Structure 1
């Protein structure tokens, strides 16, 4: 008896595996569009398992793909004879619609919709089948019916998605807002869902719809999530001052954390809205008793003030740093402020010697390895600034040894490669960059790949590597903020090395430096030269994108910008700029959906 059971189990297991393999093969044929081959397998599978809803539904779909509507009808009717499932009634109706029997189709659709009155728990199943066939009006009717018949369930996200597909953005927003009221903890998901429908332009119709809905909700029921949503909308519009008003309202209701407000200040300063950023940070200083938060706010204010500051202002900022160290001391707590001060001394005051001495003193403090690594990284950067390459390489190498396999160790390895490249030691730089191609940090991996390609493409151009050495020196000047010297050296390459591979890269590097100097006309000329004469190179999409940005943001040529964004959309789909180019193209075209 036991032997017979084992044999039976073996046969059942073998059959189950055989059926799974057959189904996988049929699905593979289906995905490739080889419907006739898929049809044969699914017909056999259905014969072996005649009650399978999955196989019958797939068979109907394949028959319809092959325009075999009578055969599809037979499969549907066989299933309905066994059990009149309402979603299969929808399928039958759709089959009639495909042969233009609309009256019969609509009767069947009504039957399926009315079925929900008796058994409302079928609403989602029936509506989903309507959605599968793009019968969106019928799906809407069912979901709206569901709101009445099953108020304990929620169909707002389904309705919102359908209204979005139909282009009825106002109703889409209304349903998403209703869903937030139902499940406030899904707020982040809803933000992601509607982000593509919102523009940076506050006068965009969609923005106006959403803003109006949120303001109405705040008046009716001032829940925290409405303030948060409105704050998010203002951030999308880069109206950071208005977002700050909402964040203050939120903080006053629940004064537990200033993290959101500090994040907002960071976004404002990254977008060069320095006045708003400083207002936010001063509010943080007025509101906190936490030393770490206060130090962060002080640091960000000083970094804002350091931008383009004259000599007198730089001295005042230096004095403020000193006062903060007197108040808070030099310890583990103030390491971020010490790093900021070291950077300020080297890059703003150009006092690299004092910066180096200050950071070497910071290294003597009793602090964690990661903090020491951060100090060493900045110290090494400043040594590169001074062209003390060998000393810089020692600090970078120490970080790699002490913080193995960490992101900061990978960053140090990249900087070893970059320093070697500045020195003209291209072979060693290339060997380090090869290792970094698989870095866990995508940003480091991308930077490593870019530098490796630059070296590989140009180091064999001539035996002396003259043009590459000039380019590396110009790159160093750019790092040292000697912008004019860098531009002059790049001019030398353009004059003396015409016809070499490095010319396209030189034009691009110079264009970015012209942008830094706000010399947008010269930058425009360089980008146009790349597009005209180096369109087969790897920098074509970069040139298209940044030239479009110039036209869009500085040179007031929106139509020209639109053409260039369109070039990226249709000719460079694999470009890293594709998504942003598409968004900005749609905005310039005036699409209601961004």
Structure 2
């Protein structure tokens, strides 16, 4: 008997669910007459279900049957004390332009908050759902005044945001976070919709003033954290650093936040800010590993900024650090960096090779051994000792199968073969790497494969491709002038071949590295005007936009080029960045 009862219940419940779905579909599709029949049936069988009541009311309203909707609501209110129904009734009058009865019922709903402040949540949400925002604000504010432990600041913030009242929105979010600090990241996401990378943006200024006032009047590290976050969005890393120092000096716990800030500043091409932050880490940490890492990053930045006359000092800095901290597993990153510096900057590849071969004897893990071998192999390529380099790259592949480092080594095997002019073998390795789990390696592999496959059949001797590969090697060897000259030879002697746009792009990139931006600009413009249907058109447009934006101080020209990426090259890998930079130049908020 019990089983039969359960089965009957399940069948009945399933029928109700189906009818509910059908009614919702009718309403969604604008078939209100059919929806009305369905909801009447559902509500008649379950008059306690408020969702069916409201759905039936809204269906009547869509059919302009306001008296029927009013009757439903007044009957319901005569039986049940449910304040949101007053809101629905008032809205029904509002649809008929009866503002007196509408406001009367809205007031009745809000007055219920005097009796039970906890009702404010559902009453306010009903007002919000009906876009009655002023009434929703009044409801939430009244409840918080009557019962201070209630916190509707999040709801108020969203309403103020909808209304465009940015200052009140910011204040409401901040007031909410004061009581609910676990929501800090959610609030930052909300803020990011309204602020810009431009520190002079009005919304940025408003938020900055609010946070500074908070720090002065009610010191709390949360406000320093928010202000630091705002400065990071504005790419003002020195000001963010000031806030992070304040947090660190109060807590004296971890330098992780400051380390992260230093890395952000470095990746965002603000080396001076990054240097200041890394130096602070060196001066304030007692942790040897953190100190070594900071020294390593400082030397990396100094090397990138150096001219030849600075190399002697940098060399001595490396030697001093290796003497201070020892040549051991702890300083592997420093050792690899020093080997690279000896070979690529001091032009002492043999010293670098001998130094790194000694590092191989330290008894470190396979991962660190492979990293040392990777640098060794790169230096051997620099010296055009290709076969020995290939041995090391192959050892890395075997030691760390399927790892990102292994895939990078396989790519370098292909690149080395390409430098040698063995295009067939290089292409076979690149085919495998197209499916690499490392997106960067996969992209690099695809680019090189396309270069080879598009140009290897141009002539039987593959002269242009061999010249290009040699120019590529010269660039790797830091012989930029020779590389540029050889690329010029290709441009002069192979004018009708498919390799020309790639040659123009490569040469432009070398011009940029030498800060010859006008020459780079001319190359990019040649690609844009002469190879509109080519696969490098978006590369050239984006690179030229970057030059205008960051080197030639011509933001309007940059904006026009970013716009071309957005509207003409929506499938480009630069699309997301172009859209973001276009909006920033236009002064939009960041989404």
Which category of TM-score, normalised to the shorter sequence, fits these structures?
0.7 to 0.9
Change (3 A) 1:580 1:137: farther
Residue of structure 1 in register with 2:75 after alignment = 81
CA–CA distance in structure 2, aligned partners of residues 198 and 524 of structure 1: 32
CA–CA distance in structure 1, aligned partners of residues 26 and 464 of structure 2: 55
Displacement of 1:365 in angstroms is 0.8
The correspondence of residues 284-303 of structure 1 with structure 2, limited to 5 A, is 284-303=281-300
CA–CA distance in structure 1, aligned partners of residues 127 and 196 of structure 2: 31
Is residue 234–residue 243 contact of structure 1 (8 Å, CA) maintained in 2?
Answer: yes
Displacement of 1:343 in angstroms is 2.0
Residue of structure 1 in register with 2:518 after alignment = 521
Query: Could you tell me which of 550, 555, 571 is aligned with 1:553?
Result: 550
CA–CA distance in structure 1, aligned partners of residues 92 and 431 of structure 2: 58
Displacement of 1:296 in angstroms is 1.7
CA–CA distance in structure 2, aligned partners of residues 88 and 430 of structure 1: 72
CA deviations 1:289-312 (Å, max 9, x no partner) are 221122122222222222243444
Residue of structure 1 in register with 2:508 after alignment = 511
Change (3 A) 1:363 1:25: farther
Displacement of 1:340 in angstroms is 1.6
Is residue 192–residue 589 contact of structure 2 (8 Å, CA) maintained in 1?
Answer: no
How large is the Cα RMSD of the aligned pairs?
3.5
CA–CA distance in structure 2, aligned partners of residues 73 and 381 of structure 1: 83
CA deviations 1:66-89 (Å, max 9, x no partner) are x5332x874685466345644455
Displacement of 1:334 in angstroms is 0.9
Displacement of 1:362 in angstroms is 1.0
* 3-state SS in 1 of match to 2:362: coil
The correspondence of residues 325-474 of structure 1 with structure 2, limited to 5 A, is 325-461=322-458, 465-474=462-471
Gaps of 5+ in 2: none
Residue of structure 2 in register with 1:6 after alignment = 3
CA–CA distance in structure 2, aligned partners of residues 298 and 256 of structure 1: 21
* 3-state SS in 2 of match to 1:154: coil
Normalised by the size of structure 2, how large is the TM-score?
Answer: 0.86
CA–CA distance in structure 2, aligned partners of residues 522 and 418 of structure 1: 27
Is residue 224–residue 244 contact of structure 2 (8 Å, CA) maintained in 1?
Answer: yes
Residue of structure 1 in register with 2:257 after alignment = 260
Corresponding pairs, count = 587
Residue of structure 1 in register with 2:183 after alignment = 186
Change (3 A) 1:283 1:308: closer
Is residue 197–residue 590 contact of structure 2 (8 Å, CA) maintained in 1?
Answer: no
Residue of structure 1 in register with 2:216 after alignment = 219
Q: Comparing both chains, which one has the higher relative contact order based on Cα–Cα distances under 8 Å and sequence gaps of 6 or more? A: 2
Residue of structure 2 in register with 1:491 after alignment = 488
* 3-state SS in 2 of match to 1:349: coil
Change (3 A) 1:276 1:308: closer
CA–CA distance in structure 2, aligned partners of residues 250 and 144 of structure 1: 33
The answer to whether 1:200 aligns with 2:197 is yes
Change (3 A) 1:327 1:143: same
Is residue 206–residue 593 contact of structure 1 (8 Å, CA) maintained in 2?
Answer: no
Change (3 A) 1:147 1:432: farther
* 3-state SS in 2 of match to 1:367: coil
Query: Could you tell me which of 63, 71, 78 is aligned with 1:68?
Result: 63
Displacement of 1:333 in angstroms is 0.9
CA–CA distance in structure 1, aligned partners of residues 195 and 103 of structure 2: 37
* 3-state SS in 1 of match to 2:190: helix
The answer to whether 1:142 aligns with 2:139 is yes
Is residue 69–residue 92 contact of structure 2 (8 Å, CA) maintained in 1?
Answer: no
Change (3 A) 1:68 1:538: farther
CA–CA distance in structure 2, aligned partners of residues 150 and 201 of structure 1: 40
Larger CA deviation: 500-509 vs 73-82 = 73-82
Normalised by the size of structure 1, how large is the TM-score?
Answer: 0.86
CA–CA distance in structure 1, aligned partners of residues 94 and 542 of structure 2: 46
Query: Could you tell me which of 469, 472, 477 is aligned with 1:475?
Result: 472
Gaps of 5+ in 1: none
Displacement of 1:320 in angstroms is 2.1
CA deviations 1:117-175 (Å, max 9, x no partner) are 33433323333333334433333333323422443232222322332333322222212
The correspondence of residues 122-137 of structure 1 with structure 2, limited to 5 A, is 122-137=119-134
Change (3 A) 1:488 1:139: farther
